[in-house]
Structure 1
Amino acid sequence: MAELKNPAGASIDAPAAARPPARSATARRLLRHAVRLVVSLAVLMVASFAMIHLIPGDPVRASLGPAAPVELVEARRAALGLDRPWPEQLLTYTGDVLTGNFGTSFITGEPVGQIIATRLPNTLVLALLATLLALAVAIPLGMWAAVRTENGRNRGTEAGFGAATGAAVAVPEFLYSIALVAVFAIWLKWLPPASKAGPESYILPILAMSIGPTAMIARISRAQTLRELGQDYVRLARANRLPVVRLHLRHVLPNTLTATLTVGGLLLTSLIAGSVLVEYVFAWPGLGQRIVESITMKDYPVAQGAILVYGALVLIVNFLVDVLIGVLDPTSALKEN
């Protein structure tokens, strides 16, 4: 019987032989991505600093209102350091951010860092749970659809899968939020409509955030699985009557995960940054809802700090996804180099 190997080099009929290490390529790849991360964070910091200066008019006057005395406006500008030259302000801002000082709220006087520390965990929990739910449902669903529709079989399943996932991706998250509240909270009265009030209050926001991403990842998973099912090692495995479950789970699945995990990492960052409207609909005490409130009330330091933290999270998560892909697929470092 011929020895079968998948593209990753794993033997199908025998334990996988150890592959030669590619440490130098992996180290160069990691260093390159680390440098990109540092540069991107620096650009993000400058952009967030410039945000408050690009607001039309005087942000202090806008926050205090047109009727505020000139003396109060000037005192607030001096307290915030906005009366100093831009280079000096940038250096001060950079030093403050690196030490965790994001300023104080115009409206409440609370430290922005404290507001972020209080609100951000609630946003991260929603985004992480929604991502895990999407991956747990989408990967098996996509593989099942690929196996069912391989070689043009089951045209009805293929059409139904494409139509359902396409429609699910097209609907915005806030519409899912409104529909879920209307059905499960107002009509059926099974779940609370808003606020964070126990484990059951997580269900609707997580569903609203995960439906669209689940459909998108399922489509990607199906495409990747169909590509793998057409490979020579799969045909050879079937010719040697390798059990279907072993073939799909041990050999096909690992080779489809690189693209899926890449999209999953991007999905997590998009859910973190895109949870604003979902949190607003469900009155969820997360950072997204606080951003909406700060923009509405012209509380610019809070908006500035929150956007900076969101951007940094996106960059860091993308970096970690790149590292994870390099660990799961060492050949990616060689290809990139």
Structure 2
Amino acid sequence: MQDAAQLTDSQNSETPLLFGRVLDGRGGGRPVTWDQVQNWQPDAPGEVLWLHVCRIQPGVQDWLENSFAIPEPTAELLVSDNTRPRAFAEGNALIATLRGINFNPGAEPEDMISMQLWCDGARLITLRRHPLQTPREVLANIDRGTGPVDAGATITMLAELMIARMNQSIVDMNEVIDLLEDEDPEDNPEGMLKRISTIRRNCLALQRHMSPQHEALEHISRDSPPWFEDHDRREIAESIARLRRYLDDIDISKESAVVLQDELRARSLASSEHATYMLTVVAGVFLPLSFLTGLLGINVGGMPGTDDPEAFWRVVVLCAAVLAGLLILFRRLRWL
């Protein structure tokens, strides 16, 4: 089924349509071409037209305005790069912008892909700029005959799958944190701090991008037109609860990363302070010896022992005695 979906994209590469299905109301659907959707009318009660469109193709906004009588400001919103999640009702139509995790090759977890949608209960249009896997999953279910039965169920399934995909990114970040907690900080502290900083940035980005989606889903549940049925609202409520749990998990991951980062920095600071302390102790030990040798090394007349061949060894014994006395004193002061 996935290969068939990709083939549909290839066949419609010269048109905005990525794929289209007419839902039969029983979980299945039949494909439709770009020419067939222009004047589409349901052949049987309960049929719903779902079109997945690339919004950056030329003429998409005019097509929305002329073929679906969508007001110009709304059509402009559907094809714009304003991707902040939102949802509102306009007459009998529902308009929404949702975000999903970007799992395309080379993408970072915090990279998000937006999907705009417009639906009047009988026709559903989803629009995207970059490839998005969620609509493909729903399409595969439809082609297997286990997909949504109406427009409301399609919207709820899209939202549910988008939110469910967040879980993998959160699990991956938690696994990295667990591995970092088990590692020895002395092995590669700089590398560990770099990975922790990356996790914190990912958590902040996910939280910043996905928190508005919580509000958008609540608007869908609360303000949708009558064709969005009660069971659809319950499904959206479940998605909202799941998203809230995921946002809480992101908070926990972020706090865990902060604790681990603080612990590494505390260890690094303690190690640096210990090195500074030891240097201070060494300087304290050798300062009197340096003063003594410096005093005896001045090149002026009258220095004692200049004519005594045993004077050097007396100075060595004196320095050793001073060193031993300083070590005993530092030991009693608990400096060593």
TM-score above 0.5: no
TM-score by length of 2: 0.23
Greater relative contact order, per chain length (Cα 8 Å cut-off, separation 6+): 1
* Structure label with greater radius of gyration: 2
Question: Larger strand proportion, structure 1 or 2?
Answer: 2
TM-score by length of 1: 0.23
Question: Larger helix proportion, structure 1 or 2?
Answer: 1
